[in-house]
């Protein structure tokens, strides 16, 4: 009998599978399809301090081996998430959940994380630092080691829960940014977020997405994600949550060999709502095929 359990930042999970933020809503929508307690956990919809309608439509475009999205962090705001979404989730999910937090200034990150930190249901806080820093001239917090460290340090001061910093792949040196986050108090790193992309409508001769650019996700980005997880594993001593194009149990094993302790499944959930469940069900077969008894034994095994 194989053992699929892993421990992420001190919290044990039945398996390493985590549906990624923005692809699994607040969980209860998927609970209508299957028992979501089979998941290791999931990262709920990116939450900001204030309600956000998101970007204008169209904001989704198909691509070969993936998709572009520029949804724009549509969410009801942290107060409503705590008052309405989490109680609904509690009825169908009985494990610690991962909260995904975004912000447009240091103050917003701090205020949102402080409120989320008080929620008993939340096991980990995943801080997405690949959002525009409106107060800093349109730069992204995640593209600079100094800015990434600044957010990490500020949020660390108001949170007691495990803090996982989600990094952008749209950088030249992801390892240095990961190291800066670790030094500033992060308990873990998650990567990668989407790659910047664009599609153009040949008839209209204009970008397909109203926002012009969007985040590219899906199977095509997995080699980039594996490479970055591998690099970050060599750079830090804290655990890594790997993601980017994962759609099979074999992909999960590959991510873990690169250095991931847990693995998020994103775009695959939008193609097949049962994707995460199916990967979990298939994991024991793939582990047996490759002679793996305990998943924890293979973390970073390709190094």
Give catalytic residue positions.
131
**Can you tell me the distance from the alpha carbon of 12 to that of 239, in angstroms, rounded to the nearest whole number?**
13
- Helices 249-258 and 222-235 cross at an angle (nearest 10°) of 30
In sign, the C-alpha dihedral spanning 144, 150, 153, 159 is negative
Number of neighbours of residue 56 by Cβ within 10 angstroms: 11
In sign, the C-alpha dihedral spanning 241, 247, 248, 254 is negative
DSSP 203-261: TTTEESSTTS-EEEESGGGHHHHHHHHHHHHHH-SS-EEEESS--SHHHHHHHHHHT-S
Number of neighbours of residue 1 by Cβ within 10 angstroms: 5
Helix-strand-coil split of the chain, %, nearest 5:
35, 20, 40
Helices (H) and strands (E) in the chain, counts: 10, 15
Give the C-alpha distances (Å, rounded to integers) separating 141 from 1, 100, 265: 44, 16, 24
Residues written for the chain: 303
State both tokens at 94. Answer: 């009985």
Q: Of 119, 110, 99, 98, which Cα lies nearest the Cα of 49?
A: 110
């Amino acid at each position: 009998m194989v053992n699929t359990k892993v421990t992420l930042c001190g919290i044990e999970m039945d398996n390493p599978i985590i549906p990624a933020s923005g692809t699994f809503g607040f969980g209860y929508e998927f609970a209508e399809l299957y028992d979501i307690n089979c998941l290791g956990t999931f990262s709920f919809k990116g939450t900001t301090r204030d309600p956000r309608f998101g970007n204008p439509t169209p904001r989704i475009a198909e691509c070969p081996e993936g998709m572009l999205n520029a949804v724009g962090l549509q969410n009801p705001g942290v107060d409503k998430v705590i008052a309405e979404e989490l109680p609904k989730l509690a009825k169908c999910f009985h494990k610690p959940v991962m909260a995904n937090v975004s912000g447009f200034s240091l103050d917003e990150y701090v205020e949102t994380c402080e409120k989320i930190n008080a929620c008993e249901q939340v096991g980990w806080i995943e801080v997405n630092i690949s959002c525009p820093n409106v107060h800093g001239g349109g730069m992204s917090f995640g593209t600079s080691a100094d800015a990434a460290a600044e957010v990490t340090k500020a949020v660390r001061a108001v949170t007691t829960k495990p803090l996982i910093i989600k990094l952008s792949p749209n950088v030249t040196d992801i390892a240095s940014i990961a190291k800066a986050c670790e030094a500033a108090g992060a308990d873990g790193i998650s990567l990668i977020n989407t790659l910047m992309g664009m599609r153009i409508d040949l008839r209209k001769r204009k970008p397909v997405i109203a926002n012009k650019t969007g985040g590219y996700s899906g199977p095509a980005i997995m080699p980039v994600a594996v490479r970055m997880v591998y690099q970050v594993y060599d750079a830090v001593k804290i655990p890594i949550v790997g993601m980017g194009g994962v759609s099979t149990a074999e992909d999960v094993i590959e991510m873990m060999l690169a250095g991931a302790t847990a693995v998020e499944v994103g775009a695959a959930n939008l193609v097949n709502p049962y994707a995460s469940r199916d990967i979990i069900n298939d994991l024991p077969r793939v582990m047996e095929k490759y002679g793996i008894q305990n998943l924890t034994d293979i973390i970073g095994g390709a190094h």
